[in-house]
Amino acid sequence: ISDRHAVDLILEEARRRPGEITLVTLGPLTNLALAVMREPALPRLLKGYTLMGGAFGVSGNTTPTTEWNIHCDPHAAKIVFRAWSAAREADPTIPLPVALGLDVTEQAVILPNDVVRLARRAGSTPDDSLALARGEDPMHATRSVASNPVVRYIADALRFYMEFHAKYDGFYGAHIHDPLAVAAALDRSLVTTEAVYVDVETRGEITAGMTVADRRHLTGKAPNVDIAVSADVAEFLYRLVERVGGLAADHPNVSR
C-alpha cells in the first residue's frame, strides 16, 4: 500500500529499476493504460508483465463474452495491449505480457478440504475451516473459529465465494483467479501459453469488453500477448497450501 498515485508508483519504480520489476495486475487496467500513455517505453523498462483478465476461448463471467477486469474498462485494456504491440515493433526482445484468462483461472478451484489442509499446515486448531468439511450444510456455515488468525481470515473470505458458487454454479468451492496469476508470475512453468494477437472490443452492442484472440493468425498481426491455455492446478494448490500455510504457521498471532 502506497500513498502515491498508482501511475506515478509504476513509472517511478520501473525507471528506478529498469529490467528488474515484474508487474502483476489483478484488476481493471485503467492505471496501467494511463502509465503507458505517459511513458510508451514502459514495456521495455519492465522485466515482465502478468495480468489476470480476459476470456479467450471460453464464455465470460460478467456478460456472455466478457471477464470482469476487462469489462470494467475495455478501452484501457485495448490501450495496454496495443502499447505492447508498438513496443515490440521497435524492440522484438521485449517479453510478451502473460494473460491468465478465465480459460485457466476457472480451473483453479479451491475446495473446503484444501482449506483444511492449509489449516493443518499452519498448525491451526481446530482445523474446522469450513462447515462443509464437517459434513454440515454449507449454506449455514458460521464464522471460522480456527486458532490461527490467518486461517480464520482466509476461511471467512473464501466462504462468501463458496456460497456464491453453491447458489449459482452448483458446487461449493471458489475460483481463485488472482492467486493463480501471481503464482504464474513467480513461476511461468505453472502455465502453458500461446502467443497470439489480442485486441479488445470497445464498440459492440453486446460484446464490448470481449478479448478477441487471433489464434488462427487471420489478421496477420504479430502476437502481442501470451495467453495461458492450461495450468498445473494440482501443483499450484500444493504450493498455495504449503506457502500460505507456512506463512500462517510463522505468524500465529497476526491481528485481523
- From the list 71, 177, 217, 251, the catalytic residue is 177
**Pair 13, 77 in one domain:** yes
Judged against a pLDDT cut of 90, whether residue 128 lies above it is answered with no
The rounded percent of the chain whose pLDDT value lies above 70 is 92
Could you report the per-residue pLDDT of 145-192, keeping only the tens digit for each? 788 999 989 988 998 899 899 989 999 999 999 999 999 999 999 999
CATH number of 73's domain: 3.90.245.10
Domain range enclosing 133: 109-175
The three-class DSSP label of residue 127 is coil
Predicted TM-score (pTM) of this structure: 0.92
pLDDT value at position 126?
Answer: 64
Show the cell assigned to 144. Answer: 471460522
- Let me know if residue 162 belongs to a domain: yes
Number of domains, the chain: 2
Residue 139 has pLDDT above 60, yes or no: no
Residues 109 and 237 sit within 8 Å (Cβ to Cβ): no
Nearest CA to 67 among 10, 18, 113, 105?
A: 105
Please check whether residues 32 and 92 belong to one and the same domain: yes
Is there a contact between 141 and 131 (Cβ–Cβ < 8 Å)?
Answer: yes
Work out the pLDDT band at 131, boundaries 50, 70, 90: low
31 and 158 together in one domain: no
C-alpha cell of residue 8: 506515478
Active site residue 217: no
Together in a domain, 188 and 219:
yes
For residues 199 and 146, membership in a common domain is answered with: no
User: What does the block give as the cell for 246?
Assistant: 507456512
Q: Is 159 left (phi over 0), alpha (psi -120 to 50) or beta?
A: alpha
Task: Check: CB of residue 122 under 8 Å from CB of residue 249.
Answer: yes
